[in-house]
Amino acid sequence: MRSLANAVHAEWTKLRTTPSTVWLAAGSVGVTIAVSLLMTVALDPALCPTEATCQADPPTVALFGVRIGQALFLVLGVLAMGNEYGTRMIQTTLTAVPRRLTVVAAKLAAVVAVTLILAALAVAGSWATWSAVNGWAVLPHSASMWRAVAGSMLYLVLIAVLGLGVGAIVRETAVGITIVTTMLYFAPLLLMFVKNPLWQLRIQRYTPMNAGLAVQATKDLAAQPIAPWLGLGVLAAYAAVAILLAAALVKWRDVN
């Protein structure tokens, strides 16, 4: 247990002192809030005069920045592992902590801790922006809106974990970022064209971004393609598979 604590501390130091982390931290929070603000302002006020009569689903607008800001969360995740291989730091890391699964667990813990804080800032900031613009109470006051807000935070953390896993699998930041970005963004664009109801349902249920963001829904839940927590569960499954495969590969593969 002691060794795990030390390993987590080491990972935290590495993450904290990498110059890109500072940029990503500021960028992920800033971009998320800025895009949420843009969407909030762009929404026609006639559509959402009061909370009770709002035609749009408020969290999908208020937290829209999550869709864009997630790109930086995934980069943070990929870099956490990709940088180790890019700089050959991994050799030093594994010399210091020979138990490889401990290294992966420590990395996971550090990334989750850091992104949880960033996600909380980004999502809470977005929601506060929406509340301020629309004159709503600052705190969400229904269970479903709490779910949307908390779920969006978890969503961003899971995206970073997915990035971490893929980064460890491909061992190259460039490749990892490209793969995860494509995984996330292809499906929503495909939905612009795909009109076959069966395919639409498949895309909305089983692709990481569309399924995961189901957690933001608060209205017409019966008509949604997938239940909110279940959708986030689909994303969690993607992240879990990636991180488990990464752990297995880190354990069994040669370092180079």
Q: Between residues 78 and 232, which has the closer beta carbon with respect to another protein?
A: 78
| In the complex, minimum distance from the CB of residue 130 to another protein, in angstroms, rounded to a whole number | 12
Question: Least Å distance between CB 174 and another protein?
Answer: 4
Comparison of 194 and 227: residue with beta carbon closer to another protein: 194
Residue 107: CB minimum distance to another protein, A? 17
b/e string for 224-250 if b means 16 or more Cβ within 10 A?
Answer: bbbebeebbbbbbebbeebbeebbebb
Query: For residues 6 and 188, which CB has a smaller minimum distance to another protein in the complex?
Result: 188
219 near 57, Cβ under 8 Å? Answer: yes
CB of 69 to another protein, least distance (A): 10
Report how far residue 66's alpha carbon sits from residue 169's, in angstroms, rounded to the nearest whole number.
25
CB of 1 to another protein, least distance (A): 33
List the alpha helices (DSSP H) in the chain: 2-17, 19-42, 58-62, 65-86, 89-96, 100-134, 143-170, 173-190, 197-206, 208-212, 228-252
Determine contact, residues 194/188, Cβ cutoff 8 Å: no
Q: Please identify, using beta-carbon distances, which residue of 140 and 163 lies nearer to another protein.
A: 163
What kind and span of H or E run contains 49? Answer: none
Backbone angles phi, psi at 229, to 5 degrees: -70, -35
Q: How far is the CB of 7 from another protein (least distance, A)?
A: 24
- Between CA 113 and CA 116 the distance in angstroms is 5
Q: Is-contact 136 83, C-beta < 8 A?
A: no
Of 187, 195, 193, 181, the residue nearest 211 (C-alpha): 187
Please give the residue ranges that form the binding site for another protein (CB under 8 A). Answer: 20, 23, 35, 38-39, 42-44, 47, 56-57, 60-61, 64, 67-68, 71-72, 75, 78-79, 82, 86, 173-175, 177-178, 181-182, 185-186, 188-190, 192-196, 199-200, 203
> CA nearest 212: which of 67, 71, 24?
67
Cβ closer to another protein: 8 or 24? 24
